[in-house]
Structure 1
Amino acid sequence: MLQEQRIEKAVHMFKAIAHPMRLQITLLLGQKKELTATTIQEYLDADQSLTSHHLVFMKNKGLLTTRRQHKNVYYSLVEPGLANGIAVLLDVVGSTI
């Protein structure tokens, strides 16, 4: 992949996670690997409709994939390394506060 294409993909990913809840979802899925919307909602202590909105947004942007098992839909990161990148960024930000 050319450098310009890699940069464009990174910009797309940054735009897609540019919300506090989406950052939290990314970090959570980086740790837990795969969760249902209900479990994500419970971990984040968030409203169900708001959680679902962000999950659908992230899936539509290509950040999340889903797997159906019976009546449950499980979400996971398409690029698991994204959570590591966010964790590094949070460490950098934390060191400047």
Structure 2
Amino acid sequence: MEQEQRIDRAVHMFKAIAHPIRLQIVLLLRQRKELTATTIQEYLEVDQSLTSHHLLFMKSKGLLTTRRQRKNVYYSLVEPGLANSIAMLLDTIAYAS
């Protein structure tokens, strides 16, 4: 992949996570690898409809993948390296403060 394509992909990904709840979802899935919407909603302590909205948005942008097991849908990160980069950025911000 050439440099311009990589930059375009990075911009796409940054736009897709540019919300506090979506950043929290990425970091949560970094730790837990795979979770249901209900479990994510409980961790974040936000409404179920809001959690579902953000999960569907992130899936539509190619950041999340799903796996169905009986009645449960499990969400996971397509690119776990993204979560590591976000964690490093947050660490950098913490040290700079």
Place the TM-score, normalised by the shorter chain, in its bin.
over 0.9
Deviations 1:10-32 (A, max 9, x none): 10000000000000000000110
Structure 2 partner of 1:48 = 48
- Tell me the number of residue pairs that the alignment of Structure 1 and Structure 2 aligns: 97
The Cα RMSD (Å) is: 0.6
| Identity within the alignment, % | 79
5+ residue gaps, structure 1, are none
Structure 2 partner of 1:8 = 8
Task: Return the TM-score normalized by structure 1.
Answer: 0.98
Q: How does 1:1-97 map to 2 (within 5 A)?
A: 1-97=1-97
Aligned-partner Cα distance in 2 for 1:46–1:96 = 30
5+ residue gaps, structure 2, are none
How far is 1:96 from its partner?
A: 1.9
Deviations 1:42-75 (A, max 9, x none): 1111110000000000000000000000000000
